[in-house]
Amino acid sequence: MELRARETLVPVLLVGLLVVAVGLLAFHDVEQRVPIAAGVLWLALAFAAAVGMARAFGAEKDRGTLDVLLGLPVDRGHVYFGKVAAAFLLLLVVALVTAVTYVVVSGEGVSGNLLALAALLALGSLGLAATSVMLSLLATQARARDALLPVLLLPLLIPLLLAGTHGTEDVLSNAPFAQWRGELFLLIGYDVAFLAASWMLFDAAVGE
């Protein structure tokens, strides 16, 4: 559906690029560029998730196809994991585009471990997808669901954003693995905890 309509990809990319533009303009005179780059990148991902996932279940809810999905002869949790997979791929695209745009526009090279940076971004994107999809389902019952998701989502993302930002800063600074190992494990724990909790609570969230 997203590949055909692009109803989510375009707004999400615009939000990510807007955050990058604001970050570059607001902090252009700051000498310490690595913390700025890390903060801008993760803020772009957070806002993209808050905006893009607001209607993760909106189309199915409006058209009545959510009941059809829940009636399929499979575990209902598979519907949740399917939505998380789609959101995860979308956020990976946002992460790639925003990171490349920041490097190109700012003229700053990337001196850190690219594989480590990719691992942090992938784990963070998975956590963002797992959290935002579940909260989007809960918000579908409210009239102001598009505005409600950021209010519910952003407080829960504080541990993920802190770990992702500090870990990215260490990686871009060529810090040893021991220095950002804690942030990596925190991201892994966050992903496992939210995926497991959401899978167990999904059936109760959608109701009978």
Taking 90 as the threshold, does the pLDDT of residue 161 lie above it? yes
Higher pLDDT, 102 or 54: 102
Q: Give the 3-state DSSP-derived string for 127-178, with helices as H, strands as E and coil as C.
A: HHHHHHHHHHHHHCCCCCHHHHHHHHHHHHCHHHHHHHHHHHHHHHCCCCHH
Q: What is the mean pLDDT of residues 164-189?
A: 92
CB 174 within 8 A of CB 111: yes
Share of the chain above pLDDT 90, in %: 34
- The pLDDT tens digits of the residues spanning 4-51 come to 766 777 888 888 899 999 988 888 888 888 888 899 999 999 988 888
In this prediction, residue 48 carries a pLDDT of 87
* Number of structural domains in the chain: 1
Over residues 86-90, mean pLDDT: 90
Closest CA to 43 of 20, 25, 24: 20
| Containing structural domain, residue 87 | 2-206
What's the pLDDT band for 146 if we cut at 50, 70, 90?
Answer: low
Give the DSSP letter string of 22-75. HHHHHTTT-S-HHHHHHHHHHHHHHHHHHHHGGGTTHHHHHHTHHHHHHTSSS-
Rounded to two decimals, what is the model's pTM?
0.88
Q: Which of 58, 64, 53 is nearest to 86 (CA)?
A: 53
**What is the C-alpha R_g of the chain?**
18
